[in-house]
Structure 1
Amino acid sequence: MNHVSEAGWIAYLADEMPDNLKIEYENHLYSCDECLTVYMEAMERAESSLLVEELDIADSVMSSITQLSEVSFEEVKQIKKEKSLRMITRHYLIAAGFTILLMAAGVFQSLTEYVDSVESSTVKETQTLTDGLIDKTFNWMDSIEKKNKEGFRNE
């Protein structure tokens, strides 16, 4: 392969060539010091052009920041506070409206009636575990006491 020109290396760096040609260029770089030197120079030129572009971006970002900083902190704080109050008021009014609508429709009344009916049907005399154990213990003690009394009478 012949030596690659600087334009060829710039195209290689810009990724503007087919893959098979890239592989050929890379293999040539391993064996040719002269092309390696040209490649390094092309890479330095491409890098310096990128630095110029980065500086242009930095200037535009800095000008944007300067424009934003012209609005005072107090103004921003006041705007956020007003938006927050409007949002809270809006949510409160929506919730109040739905509550009035549901009350007018009788939803809450039917809910309370339903809860009362469920409570009355499920309320049963249930004995807790502790009460059950106490009752069994007293019954057992009573039976022992009866046996003792019967045992004394038979003697």
Structure 2
Amino acid sequence: MTTHYSFEQWLKYVNDELVEKERIHLEDHLYTCDQCLDLYVNAVAEQETMLPAISDETAFTDQIMRKISNEEVETILEVKEKKKKSFYQSSIFHYTLAAAATIFLMSTGVFQSIIQHTETIQKAEIPSKKESAAVGFVDKTFSWMYELEGSKKEEKK
């Protein structure tokens, strides 16, 4: 049976006065309990009345938007600084290395010897002519039908 949390516990949750483990339990409980969800909504509404009123909402919004845009610019600059890689981590280095290895292997004849080796393996295989089961079944069926027709013709004579 699920236990319900009190209004005071939800007030502590709203005021962020709980340890992380308790917060997780309360959050998980909210997903399944409508009664506690109502208590949580009431606790949020009560806390909302204790917040100070905003005198100039437009100026407040503009201030928040400036802070957000400044943080976005800083984040973009940080990402660009992190993206600077050394030469060994660049794609061009890896492509050049792969091309050089390919040219080296081609000039030493490694690929040619691999091709010759596979050709000898293919020639050594004995070609086997196996009839599939379906072909054998069809052949036996037709021979049985021909024998049946032949025996019917002899009976008529």
Q: Same fold (TM over 0.5)?
A: no
Q: TM-score, normalised on structure 1?
A: 0.40
